[in-house]
Amino acid sequence: MPVENEVPTNQPLQTFWLLTIMNGASTIGRLTMSAFGDKTGALNMHIVSQIVSAFLILLLWVFTNSTTSAIAFCVFFGIFSGAVIGLPPASVGNILNCTYNTPETKHVGHSKLGQWTGMMYSVAAIPSLVGPVVAGHLVTEYERYITVQMWSGISLLLSAMCMIVARWYLPFYNGESVKTKYTSARAEKRSRQKSTGTDVGILSDTDVETSMSQAPTRVPSHTASRTVSDEKVNTLPR
């Protein structure tokens, strides 16, 4: 919708109440998502929250055209955005615990938690300062909120992709990464298919010849084979 100046009325500001609802739902999201993160992994829960928040912005916020849909967006986005804001330190701790997962190196991860968290927030301070400026310029330049919505949703998706790459190469608590586990699972599945004879991959020349030689003949033939004919010819008197 184009940006227009509203006529002042005695009604309460809807933006204020929508922001209040979003902050209240954010408190619920911070608590519940952190509890789930203890079970599923803080980084995994952070990835899910980022993706859900991005799709809420790109889909629900874009098509919001009534007060009811706006309240629904504030509630759901508040829950998942609260996890996005509150889970970064826990995600850093999860990365350190998975990286230094042996009893000999676990203390190294504990000692680096404060350093890595400070580095993360130092790097995040730059886009946190530039982001509102970019959003304000987009609204002023194009006079539509769709640009800010696209900017916010794409930024969250890019962040989620970076965390997915980190999760792909990051080892579990047992020292095995997702990439290694996925590769070993595929190799085990293929070996199981070969052992049971259900592999439908590329057949070799020997397999093709064997299968062709064992194919049944549909039309019975009364012609003598070449081997029998040669034996009869060789046994004839000259």
The answer to whether the beta carbons of residues 84 and 53 sit under 8 Å apart is yes
The answer to whether the beta carbons of residues 81 and 53 sit under 8 Å apart is yes
What does the buried/exposed string (b/e) look like for 44-56 if buried means 16 or more CB atoms within 10 Å of the residue's CB? bbbbbbbbbbbeb
Instruction: Please report the sign of the dihedral spanned by the C-alpha atoms of residue 137, residue 143, residue 148, residue 151.
Output: negative
Cβ atoms within 10 Å, residue 37: 22
Q: How high is the pLDDT of residue 109?
A: 83
Q: How high is the pLDDT of residue 49?
A: 93
Distance from C-alpha of 110 to C-alpha of 42, rounded to nearest angstrom: 16
What does the buried/exposed string (b/e) look like for 95-106 if buried means 16 or more CB atoms within 10 Å of the residue's CB? bbbbebeeeeee
| pTM score, whole prediction | 0.68
Q: How high is the pLDDT of residue 51?
A: 95
Residues paired with residue 144 on neighbouring β-strands, in sequence order: 2
Q: How high is the pLDDT of residue 235?
A: 52
Angle at 177 between CA 174 and CA 178, to 5 degrees: 120
Contact partners, residue 149, CB within 8 Å, separation at least 6: 57, 58, 61, 62
The answer to whether the beta carbons of residues 49 and 87 sit under 8 Å apart is yes
The answer to whether the beta carbons of residues 43 and 167 sit under 8 Å apart is yes
Q: Give me the residue spans of the domains in the chain.
A: 14-189
The answer to whether the beta carbons of residues 18 and 75 sit under 8 Å apart is no
**Nearest alpha carbon to residue 88 among 114, 111, 117, 113:** 117
Tokens standing for 195? Answer: 């052992």
10-residue mean pLDDT series, the chain (238 residues): 59 73 91 86 91 92 84 92 91 87 83 91 91 90 88 92 89 69 77 69 46 46 52 50
The answer to whether the beta carbons of residues 25 and 78 sit under 8 Å apart is yes
Q: How high is the pLDDT of residue 6?
A: 58
The answer to whether the beta carbons of residues 28 and 81 sit under 8 Å apart is no
Choices 3.40.1160.10, 3.40.50.20, 1.20.1250.20, 3.40.50.720: CATH for 14-189: 1.20.1250.20
Cβ atoms within 10 Å, residue 148: 20
Specify the DSSP class assigned to residue 176.
-
